[in-house]
Amino acid sequence: MATSQWAMVKEYEGLYDPIVGASEGHGRPSVTTPQMQLDRTFKLSGAYSDLKDELIEEVTAIDKQVIGPATEAHEYIQPLRKTIKQRENKRLDYEKAQEKVKKLQKKPGKTPKEDAALSKAEFEMTCASEEFEVADSHIREALPPIIEAIFTLIPHILASHVTIQNRLLGLYYTVLHNYCEDHDFPSPPPPMESVISTWAASFVPIQKEVEAISCIAHGKNWRQPVRVGDDGQGRKSSTSSAPSRQGFTRTPSGINEGTTPTPSTMRIPSNNGGSRPTMARDPSPQPSPQSSSTNVSRSQLGLPTDFTTATSLGQTQGSPNVSPSYSRSQSEYFGHQSGLIPGQGSLAAKKKPPPPPPAKRFKAPEEFVVAQYDFAGGNGDLSFNEGDIIKIVKKTDTDQDWWVGEIGGVRGSFPANYCKAA
């Protein structure tokens, strides 16, 4: 513990002590750490360094006063283990000889040879019994005093251990108490409630000052949870996103202030929210053929979207911005065969019958949430105050994301975890 605290103080020392050679070359002048703060840090580092050395000396006494006697007692027990094992072997030999004698005695009609074997077995049993009695008596006499002597060591070992702990604690508190008295710190420390209130009084103004910075107060990335990789959920940026750093990405707001002009073509605009697409015609002037080829909408590229058959395909032949080869590939994708024969422009192709109208979708009930905190959003965000009722326009499966809401006709993105269900 002393080593960890000494290392922590060394980090503070390196943080407060000015870096050699770093006084020039910065855009703004550096602020020197107050000398009193530096002196306190350096003296605390020296106090912890001396304390660490003293504690190490006391810890080494554990080997001599605690571990050493316990190890010696363990070594004295080892010969007794061998004696106990020998006594067990003598007991097994006696039981085997006893079983052999009983087996021979139970046999009826013994022959002279069997009588001789029985006599020999009885003699062996007698010898085994005597040897077992000697070993058992030795254990009964020698083992109890040794065990009693070992148990008498336990209070002394425990007392030495407690004494060492008290010395360690005394050294620790003595160093800290002297340091606190030298630098006008309260010793013993005040109650934890007082410490927390003092810390809050110093921390809250700094917190407000930091949160007043515009890039922090009006930013939204710091309010969102960090996501590893791209999980395919949540809102995605409408512009090309920069490469993520170390695999962490954030999903910025999908609501933009303005849009860039696009070619005057019949197209189906894609929607970030996955809602039902609608027909749209941009009134902007026609771009050059080169720009129209690069700004082809999603439906013109042949990607399957709703109402593509009913809208784009019927207007492809009359659109001046789509090349013949592109119109042909689009028709082949959706299975429309052209009825025009090359060289016979007078023959008009029979139009396909229009598709049936889509089924009516029932309008989902409106949902509202109540703001629990104030939120000052940036461009494209929905700003609100605590207690405001927000109408949900678009939401995701989790409240740890950005939703789209509306207050008084103003739409924008807002953090869902700042609100609760109405």
Domains of the chain: 2-20+29-182 (1.20.1270.60), 367-421 (2.30.30.40)
Within a 10 A sphere around the Cβ of 68, how many other Cβ atoms? 12
Q: Give tens-digit pLDDT for 246-268.
A: 444 444 444 444 444 444 444 44
Tell me the β-bridge partners of 228: 248
Tell me: cis bond preceding 191? Omega within 30 of 0 counts.
no
What length does the chain have?
422
Beta pairing partners, 421: 369
Q: Is 16 exposed, middle or buried (0-12, 13-18, 19+ CB in 10 A)?
A: middle
Tokens at 215, concatenated: 């890039």
Q: CA 222 from chain center: how many Å? A: 18
pLDDT tens digits for the chain (422 residues)? 767 877 888 888 777 776 655 555 555 666 777 888 888 888 888 888 888 888 888 888 888 888 988 888 888 888 888 889 998 999 999 999 999 888 888 888 888 888 888 899 999 999 999 999 999 998 898 888 888 888 898 999 899 889 988 988 898 888 888 888 888 888 888 899 998 999 999 999 999 888 888 887 776 655 565 454 444 444 444 444 444 444 444 444 444 444 444 444 444 444 444 444 444 444 444 444 444 444 444 444 444 444 344 444 444 444 444 444 444 444 444 444 444 444 444 445 567 787 887 776 666 688 899 999 888 888 888 999 988 999 999 989 888 889 999 998 899 999 999 898 87
Rounded CA separation 169/58 (Å): 11
State phi, psi for 355 to the nearest 5 degrees: -70, 160
Query: Residue 362: its pLDDT value, please?
Result: 64
Euclidean distance between CA atoms 400 and 402, whole angstroms: 7
